[in-house]
Chain A
Amino acid sequence: MGPAGWLTFVRHLLRAVFAHERQERELSAEVHAYLEQLTDEYVAAGLPPADAARAARRSLGSISHVEDQVRDVRAGAWVGAIARDTRFAVRAMARRPGFTWLAVLTLGVGIGGTTAIFSVTDGVLFRPLPFPDADRLVAVWEVRPDLNRPRLEAAPLNYVDWAQRAESFDDLAAYFHDSMNLTESGTPERLPVAGVTPNFLSMLGVPPLLGRWFEAPDGAPGRVPATVLSYGLWQRRFGGDPAVVGRSIRLRDELHTVIGVMPRGFQFPHPRVQAWVPVDYVAGNGLQSRTLFALNVVGRLSPGVSVAAATTELRAIAGALALEYPGNRDSSAFAVSLQDDLAREGRTSFLLLLGAAGLVLLIACANVAGLLLTRGASRDAEFALRTALGASRMRLARQLLVEGLVLSGCGAVVGVLLASRLFGTLDTLVPESLQGTVSAALDLRVLAFGASAALVTGLVFCLVPLRHAFQRDLRTSLGARTMPRTVGRRLEALVTVEITLGVVVLFCTGLMLQTILNLEAADIGFERQGVLTARVELSQSEYPTPQRRLAFQRDLLERVEALPGVLSAGLTTMLPYSGAAIGSAPIRVEGRPDLLDLSRAVYLRAITPGYLPTLQVPVREGRNFSDQDMADSELVAIVSAGVAAALGGDLIGQRVAFGLGGSEWLRVVGVAGSVRFDGVDVADSRGALYVPAAQLAEAGPGLGFFLPRDVAVRTTGDPMTLAGALRQAVWQIDPNQSVADVRTLDELVDGQIAGRKVQAGLITAFGALGLFMTALGVYGLLSFTVVVRTREIGVRAALGASAGDLVRLVSRSSLLRLGIGLAAGLVLAFAAGRAMRSMIYGVEPLDWLSLSAAIAILGVAGCAAALLPVRRATRIDPAVVLRAE
């Protein structure tokens, strides 16, 4: 067919769809005109008009048959046929509202769950990051086997060497999280910012909305500091004024020239970041160290270079550096695709949740297939009649398929609506590193997924009734009243499948619930309840000297401790879980020969004497800091128990130092309990080296970063009631001081396990749904079995079978199926447990408790579901049954 032919065809197709009525009228007129002309011919041949009309009718045959033949050749004949089938299906569904609701809701829940999980999974795992050529972006990590860490942020000087020597990359950039006080146009505010290398923004390839990117001299020593603003900050603080480019704003008490504004939606490396400031390590700015692991490194591979090739080159460079610098011994590095890197926390759990949702969808399919099958059996007579009247098998199959698809289509609509209600909750599942970049939302991909889920489920649950429809024997269907053996076997197979899937879902639920309980009960090393926290970042210009800062802090603590309901208060560099844990370096012990054989890195935390008691971190040996540990007294330190143990114990009285040349020698005066800085579920977290805030300046000139900024206040009642009083206390001392992140310590800890809680909640929901659906399915199928065997049971009862015989008769094969299902579930649960290994905490992947609970619950539910129909079987009155024959 040429293009003109296609055009004609499309025109006719459109007419078939949109001008259907007119087309029908014309067809009828045409056939009638033929009839009249034929009559005229007969009259002209000499027949009387009445005979002529009869003869013409006889010669034409059935008018509707002729019209049907024309309809069949029409363009889009199938559209009309499917429309007819759809109308028929909808009418059939409306006639049985109970069945329809049950099927649609079952499918809706199954499709909804899967679609909702898919919407997040898609964003996190599959959709490319929002950067040009995102597949060439990689993250680069340092590896220090001696520090027992699989990946570390890079030490700045190592980054510089990688960037200068590696040829696999178009560009290698780095960033770190920081915060700065903005004292400009309005109330002072602490801004989360990213310190970045000058090539960072151009490497990512997202052009600024206004102004320009950082370029080489930006961020070099002696340059006027520059900054690029986020879209959000530009709108919020500067009213979206384009003239802001070129202006100077005061950040951390230094004037920074605004050189650009990033477009809306650009939020790398984190959605909280409000501005970017350049630090040029190559030019000698920033932290110049090989032992402080501070930089997140991201790079753009040169075209055609693989991640593996880049890793090989990085290893070679790291090997060379290890020879040049003794501190780099055993150091290595590797590259990994940026997308995989950002999603690494979530990958397993997303795939598992998708799997769990998929299992529930399968159970839903099995249920609906069962419903259709039982209904199909009762529709045997209808189908047999229609076959007898000449409907082809293809015709019946098409109708079954259309019915299935209409059902699953309705299910999909319900499902997508359900899914969209879940999106808000699901966003908490997105790993921290991707938050903001990825969000669960209804879009074309998600809709397409929902539609394909509906299509596949529709086809899947139609298969069983379809095979059944094809294999039916006309006579038995028209005559018999018993269920064919094949239907029974298929129903039983469905029950087995449902029970198998049910065991797996319940087992996963058990593992997740235990994980949550274990995490809640995990010994994180401090008491999370009853503590109010806030971040008070002192500005460098107003508090330039350690004395000024100490005075402010002493004043603040005195005021806070004087508040009614306050038990104690303290300050620290950073509270656990108040953000990504940063500021760790190796610890050295004076006089140890293996100075550089660093066994562990520790977090340096400058604290006031009230801090450890406020968090109820116990001092196990030695003493806590006191007000006597002043700038002019001996420099002291407290190490956490894990560090002390790793260094061979008995550290009290010895001297230690932070990093290589990072600090003076500090006399260890105490050993405190271990705190899980690296995460609630990280039992072997890096430990802490505590120093008195009053001695920080003396401990090392480069330690300004570790200035205390977080306040912790232990209260007698609800901590949040003191939030206002805490702010007032700060503002009474200095009205221009920002107070940020006022929240309870409990919230900080909760934030750590919020994602896991949502996971557990979802899995539990899937488990409950799976259980409910399985029970419902088993009940429905067995009830049906009993109903169709009513006659047989009646006859047996009449012939003297006891109630026990009847129960055995009806339940024997159901119980067998239940057993097979449970056994198969057991095997699959082992596999599921292995897959969940990285998601669970404090529980074995093959946890017997979860497994036996799952089997017990399903066994009981299955038996209960089987019991009701069986009871009905024993009450069948043979007289009634036989009379009905």
Chain B
Amino acid sequence: MSRTDLLRGTLDLLILRALALEPNHGLGVARRVGQLTQGAFQVNPGSLFPALHRLEQKGWLRSRWGVSATNRRAKYYELTAAGRRQLKAETDNWARVSIAIGRALAEGT
């Protein structure tokens, strides 16, 4: 897996996770990801929008237009059933990978 693939996979996972609780719009997703990672990930729009569209095309998200808390028209994304399954699978996978990597790194020290 190349570096960009790794990053992209991580971003996708974080977006799915950010939408797990409730539907949200683009800026909301970016803020939620920031919250979830305690500020470690700042998602800029140049990565966010392509990722949202890609996930929608894969059938993991669907979108509709709605009105935001500040009374602005905005495009809201929400998880589909497939998206939830994907989130579950990716989360399990991530857990396995991070444990493995963590062990590998721990042994090195």
Identify the A interface with B (CB < 8 A). 1, 4-5, 7-9, 12, 26, 29-31, 33-34, 36-38, 40-41, 44, 60-61, 65-66, 69-70, 72-75
Contacts and interface: CB of A to CB of B under 8 A. Distances in A.
A26 B58 contact: no
Interface stretch (B32-40, B42-50, B95-103): B42-50
B50 A69 contact: yes
A65 B46 CA distance: 7
Closest 3 CB pairs between A and B?
A: A8-B59, A73-B50, A40-B70
25 contacts: A1-B58, A5-B82, A8-B57, A8-B58, A9-B57, A9-B59, A26-B75, A29-B73, A30-B26, A30-B74, A30-B75, A33-B25, A34-B27, A34-B74, A37-B25, A37-B27, A38-B27, A66-B45, A66-B49, A69-B46, A69-B49, A69-B50, A70-B50, A73-B54, A75-B57
User: What does DSSP make chain A's interface, helix, strand, loop or mixed?
Assistant: helix
B58 A61 contact: no
B16 to A, nearest CB: 15
Given A34-B45, A44-B70, 15 more contacts: A5-B58, A5-B59, A12-B57, A30-B74, A33-B26, A33-B68, A37-B25, A37-B74, A38-B27, A41-B27, A66-B45, A69-B46, A69-B49, A73-B54, A74-B53
A237 B40 CA distance: 93
A30 B49 CA distance: 9
Nearest to A30: B75
A73 to B, nearest CB: 4
Nearest to B73: A33
Contacts, number: 72
B3 interface: no
Contact of B49 (A7, A9, A70, A75): A70
Nearest to B82: A4
A73 B74 CA distance: 21
User: What does DSSP make chain B's interface, helix, strand, loop or mixed?
Assistant: helix
A33 B29 CA distance: 14
B45 A37 contact: no
Interface-central residue, B25, B54, B57, by most chain A CB under 10 Å: B57
Interface of B: 25-27, 44-47, 49-50, 53-54, 56-59, 68, 70, 72-75, 82
A66 B44 CA distance: 10
A72 B57 CA distance: 13
A724 B109 CA distance: 115
A66 B46 CA distance: 5
Nearest to A74: B53
Contacts of A31: 45, 49
Contacts of B58: 1, 5, 8-9
A1 B26 CA distance: 25
A167 B47 CA distance: 76
Given A5-B82, A40-B72, A69-B49, A61 B59 contact: no
A74 B57 contact: yes
A315 B92 CA distance: 76
Nearest to B26: A34
Interface-central residue, B46, B58, B68, by most chain A CB under 10 Å: B46
A74 B49 CA distance: 11
Contact of A72 (B50, B56, B68, B70): B50
Contacts of B70: 37, 40, 44
Interface-central residue, B25, B53, B75, by most chain A CB under 10 Å: B53
A28 B27 CA distance: 15
A514 B99 CA distance: 86
A61 B46 contact: yes
B72 A33 contact: yes
B38 to A, nearest CB: 19
Given A61-B46, A69-B49, A72-B50, A36 B59 contact: no
Contacts of A37: 25, 27, 68, 70, 72, 74
Contacts of A73: 50, 53-54, 57
Contacts of B45: 31, 34, 60-61, 66
Contacts of A41: 27
Interface-central residue, B47, B49, B56, by most chain A CB under 10 Å: B49
Nearest to B55: A73
B49 A33 contact: no
A562 B58 CA distance: 94
Contacts of B57: 8-9, 12, 73-75
A85 B57 CA distance: 25
B63 to A, nearest CB: 9
A620 to B, nearest CB: 91
A73 B50 CA distance: 6
B44 A33 contact: no
A702 B54 CA distance: 88
Contacts of B50: 69-70, 72-73
A359 B109 CA distance: 71
Interface-central residue, B45, B54, B59, B74, by most chain A CB under 10 Å: B45
Contacts of B44: 61
Interface-central residue, A9, A40, A44, A72, by most chain B CB under 10 Å: A40
Nearest to A9: B57
A33 B74 contact: yes
Contacts of B59: 4-5, 7-9
B60 to A, nearest CB: 9
A33 B47 CA distance: 17
A29 B57 CA distance: 19
A37 B50 CA distance: 19
A1 B82 CA distance: 11
Contacts of B26: 30, 33-34
A96 B76 CA distance: 49
